[in-house]
Amino acid sequence: MSYNAEGLKEIAMVNKRNLKNKFFNIPVKDFVYKFKISGVGSRSIKIEKFFYYSEIMKAVNEGNKDGFEYEIKQTIAGSEVIGTANELRELALAKKTKLKNEFVDLYLGRKFYEFRIAGIGFKSVKIEMYMGYDDIIKEVSSNNPKRLEIILMELIIGDKIDFDEYQSNQKDEIEDSKTNVNSRVNKEIDNVDISKLDKLSEEEFDEIIVNVKGWQKLVFDSIDDIIDDKFTLEMLLKQKRILSYQTRGEDLKEKVLENLNQLIDLGLVLKANKTIYVKLWS
């Protein structure tokens, strides 16, 4: 069945509830990125994705120059030398006003796309794109399966997307890259309600963090690398910063726990129960 822009829009609007907040994969060479449909309008579909600073720097440091992470890092830093996620975050926050509405440019297949930087946060960068129904229809005759328009077309009309690039990561790709823990601990974490928890203000945080140094800073940065605000000691011990200090089978658990307790005393971390801790900064 053939479609025109008006017909595609009508299908999208009828199916708006099912389409909105739907996740889908975009392949970029050897990598796959999970995006979300965050809006369905009368003229276009809005898609978005959050990229955590730790994810960006991990990809860049591993030599991935073909994906979104490298382009986001280049948009933020330009020619400045950035080596860590914290450095990238500090620079992004300092340039926040200038960066918003800048564009991240990337080739998907043979076509060039522009994604707008829509938000700069303490943990992540948000990029988004509006794809018009006219643009989608214009590209559906392409034989290139990586074209974004074809992906969105098939999502709207409900056809199965069977490209190999999607299937390999469809089941286990997790948007926020949370540290894997067993089901019991996951349940405990989910049961901890922090919706009414008062976080530190920027002023309170700045006043405290200036005095956090040495092992306290290492533990703080490792906690900050954990995507979720809730975490366990076991999750903390698996962070790369801490593992890099572990030599010849040395057990750092007591050292990490000692400094974690000091961060609790400073008001940066809350111990919610016997096993779950909570970050108090945003």
Per-residue b or e along 217-247, where b marks 16 or more CB atoms closer than 10 Å to that residue's CB:
bbbbbbbbbbbebbbbeebbbebebbeeeee
pLDDT at 172: 38
Please tell me the predicted confidence (pLDDT) of residue 84. Answer: 94
φ, ψ for residue 128, nearest 5 deg: -150, 165
Instruction: Please give the pLDDT value at position 106.
Output: 87
- According to the model, what pLDDT value does residue 233 have? 92
What is the predicted pLDDT for the residue at 80? 86
pLDDT in tens, the chain (282 residues): 567 889 999 999 998 988 999 999 988 887 889 999 999 999 999 999 999 999 999 999 998 888 999 999 999 998 888 889 999 999 999 999 999 879 998 887 677 899 999 999 999 999 999 999 998 888 776 555 457 888 898 889 875 444 343 333 333 333 333 444 456 667 777 788 888 888 898 888 989 999 899 899 999 999 999 988 999 999 999 888 888 776 545 678 888 999 999 999 999 999 888 889 999 998
Q: What is the pLDDT of residue 41?
A: 92
pLDDT for res 173: 35
